[in-house]
């Protein structure tokens, strides 16, 4: 989609205004589930898997939010089901959070960061999924800064999934935070973000056409597999310390 644009005559100014309403009694929520670790000592340490539950839209028109972010929620549920049914049990606990209030101000992740269910110093890392349903490959934001964690996802992809996968190093964001990952990161938790790359269909970002017909189910299935294998690898690696970001 190309945004309509036009040149302004010299010395012209444009003013943009918006009418908004505040609903002080409105409520959102985080939906949380947990698989308790199988190791008597390591079960007190946790891996967090999260993705925002809400969508973007306005009154009078439906914004399905299929890519942003029903895709992330579906992949989390798929990985959670695989982990709960697996014969190999995670030694560390795994906390799944479907996060509320992301689109209107990162409220759900802010609440968890200030009211964690596990101590921050017992949190190994958090992985955030957002828009993971349209593409041919994977991108793990900030993962290269945590090789002890990234290596498990990298080997899972190389050995079983065989998708193109890139990653970046962590850099401090000095702008307005736009992702739930930011609140976990600012709380001192190692945080990586999983996205899909190589879009197959147009990306209808915050748009009524963000429907299921612009998703690629194959990449979503592989994303859930990558989550399952990567999380299980980290959960069962006793050498990884639940150390917060330096």
**What is the domain range of residue 63?**
31-235
d(CA 70, CA 25): 25
Question: What CATH number should be reported for the domain holding residue 74?
Answer: 3.40.630.10
Q: Which of 83, 80, 70 is nearest to 204 (CA)?
A: 70
| Lookup: tokens for 44 | 């007190």
pLDDT per residue over 174-217, tens digit each?
777 789 999 999 999 999 999 999 999 999 999 999 999 999 99
Owner of token pair 């056409």: 209
Residue 241 domain flag: no
Residue 165 domain flag: yes
Residue 225 domain flag: yes
Sorting pLDDT into bands at 50, 70 and 90, what band is 82?
very high
Residue 240 domain flag: no
Number of domains composing the chain: 1
Residue 183 domain flag: yes
Residue 2 domain flag: no
Q: What is the DSSP string of 40-78?
A: TTGGGSEEEEEEE-----BTTB----IIIIIHHHHHHHH
Residue 61 domain flag: yes
pTM: 0.88
CA distances from 123 to 37, 49, 50, 191, 212 (A): 13, 11, 13, 10, 34
Residue 246 domain flag: no
């Amino acid at each position: 989609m190309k945004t309509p644009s036009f040149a302004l005559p010299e010395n012209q100014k444009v003013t943009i205004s918006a009418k908004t309403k505040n609903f002080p009694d409105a409520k959102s929520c985080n939906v949380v589930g947990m698989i308790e670790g199988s190791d008597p000592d390591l079960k007190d340490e946790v891996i967090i898997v999260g993705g925002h539950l809400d969508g973007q839209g306005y009154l009078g028109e439906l914004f399905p939010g299929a890519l942003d972010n029903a895709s992330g929620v579906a992949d989390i549920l798929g990985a959670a089901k695989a982990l709960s049914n697996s014969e190999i049990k995670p030694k560390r606990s795994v906390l799944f959070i479907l996060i509320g209030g992301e689109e209107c101000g990162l409220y759900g992740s802010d609440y968890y960061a200030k009211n964690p269910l596990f101590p921050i110093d017992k949190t190994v890392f958090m992985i955030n999924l957002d828009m993971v349903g349209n593409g041919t490959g994977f991108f793990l934001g900030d993962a290269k800064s945590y090789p002890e964690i990234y290596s498990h996802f990298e080997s899972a992809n190389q050995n079983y999934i065989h998708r193109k996968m890139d990653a970046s190093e962590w850099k401090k964001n000095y702008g307005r935070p736009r992702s739930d990952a930011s609140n976990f990161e600012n709380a001192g938790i190692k945080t990586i973000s999983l996205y899909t790359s190589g879009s197959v269909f147009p990306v209808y970002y915050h748009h009524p056409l963000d429907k299921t017909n612009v998703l690629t189910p194959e990449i979503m299935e592989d994303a859930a597999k990558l989550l399952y294998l990567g999380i299980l690898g980290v959960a069962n690696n006793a050498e990884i310390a639940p150390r917060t970001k330096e």
